[in-house]
Structure 1
C-alpha cells in the first residue's frame, strides 16, 4: 500500500457515466407529450447495464429521482403535477391490487410514473408507499421480445428493460404520434456495446 488515493475515472457531465462508456452519442431526441417520472432504486443507478440513462437523455420530459423510501409529502409532490393526470406503469398484482382507473378524455395531459428496480424491489417500493399503490395503473399488453436478455437475466418471461417498457407505454398513450423506432435502435446499440465489453478476451 503506497497511501496514494485511487484515481477516479473521468465521468461524462451529461450522462454521468465513465467516459469510456459514455452514452451521449447514442441519445436519440424523441418527441413526446407525456411527462415521465422514473423512481430509480439506488442499486439500479450503479448498474452499468441500466437503461434509464439513455432514456433520460432521449426524452425531453423525463425526470429521474433516485431513492428506495420516500417521505409521503415529498412523494406526493413528485407524483402530482397541476393539470396532469398521473398513471403508474405497473401490472395489477395480488400483493398490491390496482385501483380503478377513471376514464380520461382523449388528449388529457399525463404524467407516467415508472419504477426502475428488480421485480422484487419494485413490488416492495409499491407496497411500502401507499401513494404509489393508490395510483391508477397502466399495464402493458404482451410485450415485444426484449433485447435486454443479451446482457441481463430476467426471472419473468414478460420482463423487459425500463426503457423498453416506457417506450411501449408511450406508444400506447400517444399512438402514431410517438415514434419509438430511433430510441429502440439506440437501445439495441447500447445492448450490443455492453455485451461486447463483457465477452471474454480471446486467448
Structure 2
C-alpha cells in the first residue's frame, strides 16, 4: 500500500504534529505540503499503483452540503484491490483546514472516501478533539491501514510509540 499525506502548511514544524512521525515510520509513504495544489501536480500525486485505486481517508460529512461540494463517489469495499495496489490519501490539518483543503482541490473531492467507524477514543491528549472519533493523523491512518489490510496487530507498535510521544509532550507541557 502506498500512503500520500497532504499536509496543510500551517501544520509544518508543529511540535505536536503527527504527520511527520507517520511519514518517517511507514516506508514508502510520501508527505507533500500545500493548501491548494496545482491540478496537474495533484493529478500526478494521486496516481495509484498499476491496476490500483486511490482512496481518500475522510469522514462522512453531511455538513459538506453547506460548502456545495459534490457528493464523493461511493466506496464499495468489494472493489478495493489488494492492499499493495492501493494509494491511501490522508489530509493533515485541523478539521477546519482539512475541509478547506478538500474544498479548494476538486480532484480530492472526486475520490471515493474511506470513513472510519467504531474507532476507539483518541490517544492524542495534547490536542483537543471537538467530537468523539476525531483522531490524530497518525491514529486515523493506523486504524485505516488496520481496516484495509485486515491486520490489527501490524500497526499496534506504531500506536504504542505514539503513546510515548504523547507522554513526552505532556511532560514538556507540565514544566
Q: TM-score, normalised by structure 2?
A: 0.89
Change (3 A) 1:151 1:105: closer
Instruction: Tell me how far apart the structure 1 counterparts of residues 164 and 133 of structure 2 sit (CA, whole Å).
Output: 22
Change (3 A) 1:41 1:172: same
Cα distance change, pair 65–106 in 1 and its aligned pair in 2 (3 A)? closer
- The residue number in structure 1 matching 2:141 is 166
What is the DSSP-based 3-state SS (H/G/I as helix, E as strand, rest coil) of the residue aligned with 1:70? coil
- Count of residue pairs the alignment pairs up: 166
Alpha-carbon shift at residue 112 of structure 1 (Å): 0.1
CA RMSD of aligned residues (A): 1.6
Preserved CA contact (<8 Å) 2:48 2:86 = no
Following the alignment from structure 2 to structure 1, what is the Cα–Cα distance between the partners of residues 153 and 141? Answer: 12
1:52-201 mapped onto 2 (5 Å cutoff):
52-83=19-50, 84-94=52-62, 95=64, 96=69, 97-102=71-76, 103-104=78-79, 107=82, 109-148=85-124, 150-176=125-151, 179-200=154-175
| Cα distance in 2, alignment partners of residues 62 and 105 from structure 1 | 19
Q: Distance in 2 between matches of 1:56 and 1:128?
A: 24
Query: Would the alpha carbon gap of residues 192 and 40 (structure 1) be closer, same or farther in structure 2, given more than 3 Å must change?
Result: same
Paired residue secondary structure (1:145): coil
- The structure that is helix-richer by fraction is 2
> Which 5+ residue runs of structure 1 have no aligned equivalent?
1-33
Assess if the C-alpha contact under 8 Å between 2:8 and 2:34 holds in 1: yes
Assess if the C-alpha contact under 8 Å between 1:72 and 1:131 holds in 2.
yes
**CA pair 98-178 structure 1, distance change in 2 beyond 3 A:** farther
Superposition deviation, residue 81 in structure 1: 3.0
The equivalent position to 2:18 in structure 1, one of 33, 39, 51, is: 51
2:23–2:29 CA contact under 8 A, matched in 1: yes
Larger radius of gyration: 1
